Amino acid sequence: MENAGNWVMPNPIPKSSWVALRCLLAIRPHDRQALAKAFVAFMKRPYFSRVWVMQELHLAPEISLCCGMDIHSFDYLLAVSMLVDFWANASDYRDSLTGIVTFVANIASWQSWYSRREESCLSLQDDLHDVLPQRGCLTLASGFRGRRRLAEVLEAMQSFQCTDARDRLFGVLALVDWGGGEPAIPNYEMNNYQVAVEVLRLYLNNPETQPLLKMAVKWPRPLWELFNVSVEREAVREAIRERYGSHKIPGTIHTTYDLTDHLRIGTVEAYSSRREISLLNMPTRPPHIGGHLRDTWYGVKLLDIADREMTNSRNRPSYYLCCKKSHLKGSLDSMHLLVEITDQDGCLFAYAPEDTRPNDWLMISQAGSLSDVDPEMAIVRSTNNVHGIYHLIGHVFKDRKYAKLIFSMLHWDYFESNWSAEDLFLFDWTYMSRPAGALPRLKSDWHSKIVSTRGDSSFFYGPIMHIQDDFAMLKP
């Protein structure tokens, strides 16, 4: 797990006390190893790998654990877990001891018998690592650190098993700190896809539930695996049919699909300077518009292809992008048009939906712009000049052959998003379903996935102009 360190048991005994030192010295290495191995074997039982167990342990007023003929309290198991942790990380504890305890520990460390005991404990670390999720189960169930934010609990659920993937949400609701927001309500009439979208909705609407890291455009990706939602599952297809009231995907929606997305090639190294922004000529946002500050996008306005011929234009920037209609090269469906986005030299930069026109904006996600050779991109169009509102036209497919470092040369403005959960979920669907190689030749391939939003459900607002360039030099 990415944040596995947050799930280990708290320090078992105050490090500045004599009790900690006695625990280290009083038990012989042989007995110590035997107890530790017994504890690890006990924690590897399937019971401690089930989703529902954490909530059961957390809510139970009294807990008794049976092992053979022995019956012990939950506190007993916690104590053993903490003691084994102390043995396995003895040197870490010794380094943080203070005062006379530090002096005594250092004297002991000079003795050969102490070194042998310490070395025997180091072998426990690998065994403890194997049961780290299970020990995290004890941590959360014990309530030592209170309830956790939803994203943190769901990340832990990746290491726990359940028959129904929906239980990864509905089976841990009592463990979640919902802040000031409304908690999720169990509803098993929802399929896995709908549950994943519901989690994303909670993230977008309640900051207390959001992941601590990553931008909003990256939030859907872990939910696909967590709730066992496949891009080809019937649940997604049914959502498309319900979304558009038809079995046929609208012809104005464009993207590409291929199963080799994981074969993307190329590496981008970037160095980003500290960001400074100011509001310049930014219309007042209406009170009902709540954007997601964790999802910033860079935007650049597209010029008309004819502007490239205006060699004497004083207002034309040195570096820019423009668009023109184009037949998909080699297409068996010659009536199908795409829009080519080219740079100031006429080099192909990307393909865009056929409805793309000059004065639309090309958006690049800040989350991937400086770290991904193929960042999330979209075309948006102003629909409300008074409030600076822009709606999504469609997804943009970058030409893999374009190798110029143009990002740092363009004049970018800042935009922020206001996603609906399903729009963002399907937008991520199209991005991770794109091919790793060349553009597909058939119109049917280009139309095979959803890309744009339904109606006016999602939008961007801006521009919020920057005064310091965020795009440092990019190296291929």
Q: Say whether pLDDT at 302 is over 70.
A: yes
Residue 44 lies in a domain: yes
Contacts of 88 (CB under 8 A, 6+ apart): 36, 121, 122, 124, 125, 127, 128
Least confident interval from 40-44, 285-289, 391-395, 462-466: 285-289
pLDDT digits (tens, 9 = 90+) for 387-436: 788 888 888 878 777 877 777 788 888 888 888 888 888 888 777 766 54
pLDDT at 85: 79
Contacts of 28 (CB under 8 A, 6+ apart): none
Q: Are 390 and 300 in contact (CB under 8 A)?
A: no
Q: Are 381 and 453 in contact (CB under 8 A)?
A: no
Residue 245 lies in a domain: no
How many distinct structural domains can be found in the chain? Answer: 3
CA distance 29 to 31: 6
pLDDT at 325: 65
Who has greater pLDDT, 1 or 241?
A: 241
**Range of the structural domain that residue 350 is part of:** 252-465
The pLDDT-based confidence of 169 (bands split at 50, 70, 90) is very high
Q: Last residue of a domain, which of 206, 237, 268?
A: 237
pLDDT at 63: 84
CA distance 62 to 261: 50
CA distance 203 to 244: 25
Who has greater pLDDT, 142 or 55?
A: 55
The pLDDT-based confidence of 450 (bands split at 50, 70, 90) is very low
Least confident interval from 130-139, 160-169, 465-474: 465-474
- 174 and 51 fall within a common domain: no
State the residue for tokens 């030099």: 473
Q: Last residue of a domain, which of 191, 210, 237?
A: 237
Residue 410 lies in a domain: yes
The pLDDT-based confidence of 231 (bands split at 50, 70, 90) is low
pLDDT at 199: 96
3-state secondary structure of 216: helix
pLDDT at 255: 34
Q: Say how far residue 131 (Cα) sits from the centre of its chain.
A: 24
The pLDDT-based confidence of 316 (bands split at 50, 70, 90) is low
Residue 475 lies in a domain: no
Q: Last residue of a domain, which of 175, 202, 237?
A: 237
Residue 310 lies in a domain: yes
* CA Rg value for the chain: 28
Who has greater pLDDT, 96 or 239?
A: 239
pLDDT digits (tens, 9 = 90+) for 3-13: 443 454 444 44
Q: Say whether pLDDT at 446 is over 50.
A: no
Reported pTM: 0.73
- 58 and 166 fall within a common domain: no
Burial class (CB in 10 A: 0-12, 13-18, 19+), 283: middle
The pLDDT-based confidence of 227 (bands split at 50, 70, 90) is very high
pLDDT digits (tens, 9 = 90+) for 328-384: 444 444 434 578 899 988 888 888 877 888 999 999 888 766 555 677 888 998 877
Who has greater pLDDT, 392 or 311?
A: 392
- 15 and 138 fall within a common domain: yes
3-state secondary structure of 103: helix
- 184 and 296 fall within a common domain: no
Q: ω into residue 61 within 30 of 0, thus cis?
A: no
- 340 and 293 fall within a common domain: yes
- 380 and 301 fall within a common domain: yes
Q: Say how far residue 179 (Cα) sits from the centre of its chain.
A: 21
Residue 242 lies in a domain: no
CA distance 307 to 218: 35
Most confident of 224-238, 243-257, 276-290, 385-399: 385-399
- 66 and 14 fall within a common domain: yes
With b for 16 or more beta-carbon neighbours within 10 A and e for fewer, the 155-183 pattern comes to bbbebbebeebbbbbbbbeebbebeeeee
pLDDT at 27: 66
- CA dist 376 to 8, 9, 93, Å? 35, 39, 46
State the residue for tokens 């008309």: 304
- 350 and 205 fall within a common domain: no
- 134 and 159 fall within a common domain: no
pLDDT exceeding 70 applies to what percent of the chain? 58
Nearest to 378 by CA among 476, 470, 318, 299: 299
State which H helix or E strand residue 126 sits in. Answer: helix 124-130
- 369 and 413 fall within a common domain: yes
Residue 244 lies in a domain: no
- 51 and 122 fall within a common domain: yes
- 129 and 59 fall within a common domain: yes
Q: Say whether pLDDT at 123 is over 70.
A: no
Give me the amino acid identity at 188: Y
Residue 243 lies in a domain: no
Q: Say whether pLDDT at 187 is over 90.
A: yes
Least confident interval from 23-27, 85-89, 412-416, 468-472: 468-472
